[in-house]
Amino acid sequence: MKQLRHSVIRAGLEALYFTGAHHLLRPIFAGIGGIFMLHQVRPGRGGAFQPNRHLEVTPGFLRATLLHLRTQDIDVIPMDEVYRRLVERDFSRRFACFTFDDGYRDNRDFALPVLREFDAPFTVYVTSDFAEGTGRLWWIALEAVIARAHSIEVEIGGAATRFDADTPPAKQAAFDRLHDWLRGLPGEQDLAREIGALCARHGVDQAAICRDLCLSWDELKSLADDPLIAIGAHSITHCNLARQAEPAARHEMVAGRERIEAAMQRPVVHLAYPYGDKGAAGAREFALARTAGYRTAVTTRPGMIFPENANHPTALPRVSLNGNYQDARILPVLTSGAATAMWNGFRRVDAA
């Protein structure tokens, strides 16, 4: 199913490109700018089983994106400036803003050098448990489990279920199924228990994954001294906020912010909701982010920024730079707003 979805999305992007429809849609859907969402940035890896590839782009694709923005005469600005332009309704020039979720070390090692070439500012949204080295990047742990397993057994809904994991296609199918199952579990404790059991059974060390991939507090502190970089918050544990009771969701937003501020010795006023889709961030979270004192908060809902978004600064949509579609030809389609419009049902603003 996932492969089919990729094909449909790619076909849609290519159709928009080859028909030139993005030129027609640009005046309607390009808005005043866009906020790009990225996760990891690193050189491409070999290997057929890369189920999290949508969450990483190469330094080369990042450079192609920045070059495209330069030819379009689009300003690359930090989140503080996005907020200022929204509040002051300064829409005279189009903008792009770069944001990186979770706090990966490769943001420093591979993204920063490219962004520096273009003097492009960016925001890194930090999950404080990841910086602490105690967080659970369960989707990467699941990839590690399946990569080394020949078969996997779990109890789903009271029934023992066995997944073949001998070949790359079988591994991908097992990943899709187990990923959906884990994300659908009722509570964070259930997710922690199940992924913990899988890791224990297959010899995967979750804490080591976290320390291996994520910037530590010390590393973040020196990174934050760079004038190009702003540090934002991405909760304490990377939980689905919408599924938490209100006090717990508020705690994730408030205490997560305080932990980063204490470590960085500077204010944190920008938030990214973990997962960030409609099932993880809705009206209650948008209000909580406001009362927690965040100036802006970004979702993973697809969309460009329009003047109307000034009324909803804690419900901002983004444009994903997706590792499965690293083709420079799609960049004009993305900045035209045609792709995000296609994905969000041709709505301009969706902040409810």
Contact set with Zn ion (CB under 5 A): 101-102, 274
Based on its alpha-carbon atoms, the radius of gyration of the chain, rounded to whole angstroms, reads: 20
233 or 288: whose CB is closer to Zn ion? 233
- Smallest distance from the beta carbon of 301 to Zn ion, in angstroms? 14
What is the enclosing helix (H) or strand (E) of 96?
strand 95-102
CA separation for the pair 209, 346 (Å, rounded): 39
- Smallest distance from the beta carbon of 81 to Zn ion, in angstroms? 23
Residue by residue, DSSP assigns 98-116 as: EEEEE-BHHIIIIIHHHHH
101 or 194: whose CB is closer to Zn ion? 101
102 or 106: whose CB is closer to Zn ion? 102
- Smallest distance from the beta carbon of 17 to Zn ion, in angstroms? 29
4: burial class by Cβ within 10 Å (0-12, 13-18, 19+)?
Answer: exposed
CA separation for the pair 314, 284 (Å, rounded): 11
CA separation for the pair 237, 239 (Å, rounded): 5
CB of 33 within 8 A of CB of 344? no
39 or 85: whose CB is closer to Zn ion? 39
- Smallest distance from the beta carbon of 311 to Zn ion, in angstroms? 26
31 or 256: whose CB is closer to Zn ion? 256
CA separation for the pair 348, 304 (Å, rounded): 8
- Smallest distance from the beta carbon of 144 to Zn ion, in angstroms? 18
What residue number has its CB nearest to Zn ion? 101
101 or 129: whose CB is closer to Zn ion? 101
- Smallest distance from the beta carbon of 281 to Zn ion, in angstroms? 11
With a CB cutoff of 8 Å and minimum separation 6, the contacts of 259 are 128, 236
